[in-house]
Amino acid sequence: MKKIIFLLGFLWTGYGISAQVNTYTPEQNRLQNKLRIKEGKKNGSLTKKEIKKLNRQQRRVNKTERKAKADGIVTLREQKKIARQNQKLSHAIYRKKHNRITVK
């Protein structure tokens, strides 16, 4: 009985199970978003106007990153702002790729 309780306690605390959290750096986010935009251009799911708007939004994220790195220290607040901008861009790419407007 003691062995079972010990084993359950061991598993319950998380030592027996390791969970991997998939987090991306801003650089990985930028490359992934860039790849998704190129893919949308290639398969025709993004129009020229949509691509232009998404690229402009990506440039804004890049500018925010450059400003944050300018003083040599990227604060937690700046990291959150960059992450939020990357997430908004990612959602915008998804919405524009999956709307019914395509290149003919």
Q: What is the largest CA-CA distance in the chain?
A: 69
pLDDT in tens, 10-63: 666 655 455 555 566 878 888 999 999 999 999 999 999 999 999 999 999 999
Residue 4 lies in a domain: no
Distance of CA 17 to the CA centre of its chain: 26
Residue 41 lies in a domain: yes
Residue 9 lies in a domain: no
Residue 83 lies in a domain: yes
The count of domains in the chain is 1
Looking at residue 16, its pLDDT comes to 47
Residue 62 lies in a domain: yes
Residue 90 lies in a domain: yes
Residue 6 lies in a domain: no
- CA angle, corner 52, sides to 103 and 63, nearest 5? 155
**pTM: predicted TM-score of the whole model, two decimal places:** 0.73
Residue 14 lies in a domain: no
Looking at residue 102, its pLDDT comes to 79
Instruction: Specify the DSSP class assigned to residue 9.
Output: H
Range of the domain at 76: 23-97
Write out the two tokens for 60: 């804004």
